A and B are shown apart, each in its own frame.
Chain A
Amino acid sequence: MLNYGALDWRLIGAVILLTLIGVVLIMSAQHGAGTDYERSYYLRQLMWLVVALVAFAVVIHLPLRLLDATAYMGYAVVLILLGLVLFVGSSRSGATRWFSFGFINFAPSDVAKLTVLLALSRFFAYSKLPPASKRRLAMSAMLVAVPVALILKQPDLGTSLVFWAILFGLWFWSGLAPGYLILIVSPIVSFAAAFHWLPWVLYFIVLMVGLFLFRPGLAYSLVAVISNLAFGAVQPFIWNRLADYQKLRILTFLDPGRDPRGAGYQIIQSKIAIGSGGVWGNGLFGGSQTRLEFLPERHTDFVFSVLGEEFGLWGTTLVVLLLGYILYRGIRIAGKCRSKFASNMAFGAVAVLMFQMFVNIGMTLGFMPVTGLALPFLSYGGTSLVLTWVLIGLIVAADYHWQEY
């Protein structure tokens, strides 16, 4: 049996508090909705909280060795599920992401986050290769690329980005110098800069200077230059292959005003909601953007905007600081774990939560594109809530067992 007194109760308390704030916000978001079903979203979220707590309890009781030993097996099972969902999954708004069990929908991509996290944690814990070894980088990238490829086919850009965030976090955590990380990201920057030849040329000059100063070795330099050239060159072709809604999202992110009634609408309305809240907010149920349905997706992706409108700067600051505290605890726990696997696992969980937090809140503030990523703990969504609680479970378990090797 666990010694419950030794659990990180402050961390758990912060997570419970956040989840309950989320429930209140969901209640407010759908307060004026037309149907009983919509108005009862918060009750369903409460029900999911119970499920999440059970999952959390199960996770913290699992021996870490078991998670470690079964990591690759779980990974394989999820790969099969991801393949399957493409054929038998149910569709909603152009995306096939869910297995439908009656009224409960189950998205394997959420579970995939967990299994990829565990598999990567195991890989980095036992790989004898040096952190900057090409084989190590390539193998770990493959572990992510296969499930991401399956998810991209669904298609779900936002979720697939989370996987890369895990990989990135663990590359860093397993000792890869930041210079390499920048090099690895550089082709994406090249891709983005290639919208016009002038920024691209400027960027390329900066890249060459960086390579000269950093001296990562001939092979890395060559790969970096070639991949940068290649990404810059294929950019127009890739752009043309993107779905219209994806193009629009990117363009609208760059300039929300270009389509104020369509894709830019969400961002504009979200900014209005948060900004109109001011310091003290309009009070619970008092947000007109929320109540009058100007705010889209207000119980899921844009739940933070409801918070901003109804609770103002003090409410948003409180939530950001609570999230920050949770992530801070996660990093500290990952830092003190003696077991490499546990440490990786905790840090991977931090990477997922931090990425989702930053992208989601950034989106509601208008400086991140609309990706459809949920805000951990607060957004409505059963699978998402359970998953985030499981991630917290991993962190709490790592903390509890920190002295074990």
Chain B
Amino acid sequence: MKHSSLAKQTRERLALGGLVLALLFLLGGLFQLQIVEHSELLAQSEDNRIRVQPIVPQRGLVYDRDGRIIIDNRPSFTFSLVASQMVEGVTIPNVSELLGLSPEVLDKRFRRNLISRHQPAPVKRDVPFEVVAVVEEQAEKFPGVVIQIEDVRRYTTGLGAECFTGYTGEVSEEELKTLTERDYRLGSMIGKKGLERAYDSRLRGHEGTAYIEVTATGQALGPYAEKPPAPAIAGQGLNLSIDIDLQRACAAEIDSANCCGAFVAMDPRTGEILALSSFPSYDANIFSSVIPESLWTEIRNDSTYPLLNRPLDGLYPPGSTTKLITIGAAIEEGHITEHTILKACTGGYRFGNRVFHCWELSGHGQMNAAGSIERSCDVYLYQVGLKLGVDGLSKYFGLCGLGVPTGVDLPREQPGLNPNSDVLDEIHPRGWTQGVVLNLSIGQGELLVTPLQLAQFYCGIANDGVVYRPHILKSVMHPDGTTEEIVPEVAFRLPFKKKTLELLNESIRLVVEGDHGTAKNLRNRHYSIGGKTGTAQNPGKDNHSWFVGVAPLDKPEIVVCAIVEWGGHGSEVAAPAVGRIIEAYMSKYHPRETLAAAGKASPAPQPLDTALVVEEGRE
């Protein structure tokens, strides 16, 4: 081997060359990190030490029209975990035992809400104080556990108001994907149903941001001086058109015998909803807190559907309550006049080879248009319906808002079903006969409406044909103290001339005040009520009982629509209920009239139950 040794001078040069190379290598690395990657690494350094902490604003409060609380907030304890401080094999097992959650569920919740290693990820909201006490006393068993105080919604109970309040919950991953607003993030609360959902962006306010300097162990050192916090903007307060007194009056109508139903009270002059309730109800507080799995299953499997929002989602045949439309349509189309007397009612009407019965099997005899409403005679209406035909009738149902969403300011409203011949072709692919129109003319058969649609229609009747969009929000209180009034909007006009409307108003007056009226039991000395009974057929079960009332009839201020499921005939259950709700209204807003005339100190409901009970319905 020739080159087995090197001269000393060469070795020294090689060594110096090696040293220079090594130094250049290190300096190159320093240049790379401190010049080239400087800004990126600086950002990472900031990210390391600054915890961006959201400042959650107070969610807006919700009041009734008199400024009484319907929804407010209460403080609660939220149990959170901080990843950087957790100890493997200690935190999760101990927390799992304390909260009674399986480690898998706990881990899932923790990961779902994890934003950064140093930021608390909520795993359970609204834990009881006993749990907080255990964590405080045995802190060494729970490294990485943080208890935060957060607001939880509190709903006034006993109002049957859940159908419009809805409730809040943690935003889901699916919702996050569709939401564009910056304010929503994992773990934040969002309105899930009702007005909490419809007005979520008003109620929630805007999150602020605090910048907090933390150590590697996650210990907060205090506000980060170079970035001042962005304060939160509180949510807006909502004044509803709802009247708590009327809500209570509705709730009082529900008992064990009549467990299910819906009430809608509206001001026909504005479309304001005065009361809206659905029974059976549930406690919205349960949903905004932590729902035990068993309770959730129980609610979902309840055969009375407590989660069904009956005024907006409940679909029922309207029964005789839509006879007004049949009569009005026939007059507008020139088939009859107010004086037209049709074939006398003998308790039934033969159509083809079938007899369609009147609910009064002994027959009503002869009558005019208003009389047919007063007595709710089916035979008169069958003949009118045949003149209109399916599509003629369906056109007027649609123009009166049946089968059309009302546009109420609450989410998840059902449109219902207004059958014309096209729809019937779909429903009955093997064909259908004109007999269908007989059913539709008395509000039975395929026609399905929501209680809100019916209330809206009667508002039009009571308001000279002008129909306002039903709404629940009356005004908004901004955090700066200003108030924004919600201006009522006209939704549409009923397709009836003034004269026709007068006739229809006279007819509903006769229902209560006429000698043959089906709701004579509502008659009283102090103010006049108009209304219409209805009985929705419910094959195989008791019929649903309808009543829509208007008061005071000379200058209407309130329309109340009630349906009591399985309540039987409209006059038996729904009509007295509406009478008592109207009485609650009248005694509150016109106390002198009521009390002075009654000569009593307490505005007790009148003895309505002794009144004559008149039946209606048909086979």
Residues of A within 8 A of B (CB): 130-132, 172-173, 175-179, 215-217, 261, 269, 271-279, 288-289, 292-294, 308, 312-313, 316-317, 320-321, 324, 327-328, 331-332, 334-335, 347, 350, 354, 357-358, 361-362, 365-367
Task: Check A308 against B30 for contact (C-beta < 8 Å).
Answer: yes
Within residues 102 to 161 of chain B, which ones have a CB less than 8 A from any CB in chain A? 117
Contact indicator B4/A331 (Cβ below 8 Å) = no
B9 (CB) vs chain A CBs: closest residue: A335
Asked whether A320 and B15 contact (CB < 8 A) given A175-B6, A294-B49, the answer is no
The answer to the question of B423 belonging to the interface, with a C-beta cut-off of 8 Å to chain A, is no
Residues A276 and B5 in contact, CB atoms below 8 Å apart: no
* Cβ contact within 8 Å between B44 and A332: no
Chain A residues within 8 Å of B214, by CB? 292
B11 to A, closest residue via Cβ: A173
B215 within 8 Å of A (CB atoms)? yes
Selected contact of B45 from candidates A216, A289, A335, A367, CB within 8 Å: A289
Given contacts A272-B44, A289-B48, A313 and B3 within 8 Å (CB-CB): no
Interface residues of B in 11-40 (CB under 8 A from A): 11-12, 14-16, 19-20, 22-23, 25-27, 29-35, 37-38, 40
Residue ranges of B at the interface with A (Cβ–Cβ < 8 Å): 1, 3-6, 8-9, 11-12, 14-16, 19-20, 22-23, 25-27, 29-35, 37-38, 40-42, 44-45, 48-49, 117, 213-217, 221
State the Cβ distance, A344 to closest chain B Cβ, in Å. 12
Quick check: A274 and B30 within 8 Å, CB to CB? yes
User: Complex formed: what's the CA distance from A276 to B38 in Å?
Assistant: 5
Closest to B22 in A: A358
- Are the CB atoms of A317 and B48 closer together than 8 Å? no
Identify 17 new A-B residue pairs, CB closer than 8 A, beyond the known A273-B45, A292-B213, A293-B215: A131-B5, A173-B11, A177-B1, A216-B1, A271-B41, A278-B35, A279-B38, A289-B45, A289-B48, A292-B48, A313-B30, A313-B34, A328-B16, A331-B12, A347-B15, A350-B15, A362-B29
Query: Which residues of A sit under 8 angstroms from B14, Cβ to Cβ?
Result: 172, 178
When distances are taken between beta carbons in the complex, the residues of chain B under 8 Å from A320 are: 23, 26-27, 30
CB distance from A363 to the nearest CB of B (A): 11
24 CB contacts below 8 A, A to B, read A175-B11, A177-B1, A177-B5, A269-B48, A271-B33, A272-B41, A272-B45, A272-B48, A275-B34, A275-B38, A275-B41, A275-B42, A276-B38, A276-B45, A279-B35, A289-B49, A292-B213, A294-B49, A328-B16, A331-B12, A334-B12, A358-B22, A362-B25, A365-B32
A180 CB, nearest partner CB in chain B, Å: 8
A362 to chain B, nearest CB (A): 7
- A264–B13 alpha-carbon span in the complex (Å): 38
Asked if B30 and A131 make an inter-chain contact with CB atoms under 8 angstroms apart, the answer reads no
* Nearest 8 Cβ contacts at the A-B interface: A275-B41, A175-B5, A335-B12, A276-B45, A365-B29, A275-B33, A294-B216, A293-B216
A292 touches B5 (CB 8 A): no
Bound CA–CA A324/B19 (angstroms)? 7
Chain B residues, Cβ within 8 Å of A292 = 48-49, 213-216, 221
Inter-chain contact A313/B1, CB cutoff 8 Å: no
Q: Which of B8, B25, B33, B42 is the one whose CB lies under 8 Å from A335? A: B8
Cβ contacts under 8 Å, A275 to chain B: 33-34, 37-38, 40-42, 44-45
What is the CA–CA distance of A9 and B298 in the complex, to the nearest angstrom? Answer: 89
Q: Which residues of B contact A317 (CB under 8 A)?
A: 27, 30
**Which of chain A's residues has its CB closest to B4's CB?**
A132
List, in ascending order, chain B residues with CB within 8 A of A273's CB. Answer: 45
Set of chain A residues within 8 Å of B44, measured between Cβ atoms: 272, 275-276
Task: Known contacts A130-B5, A292-B215; decide if A276 and B41 are in contact (CB<8 Å).
Answer: yes
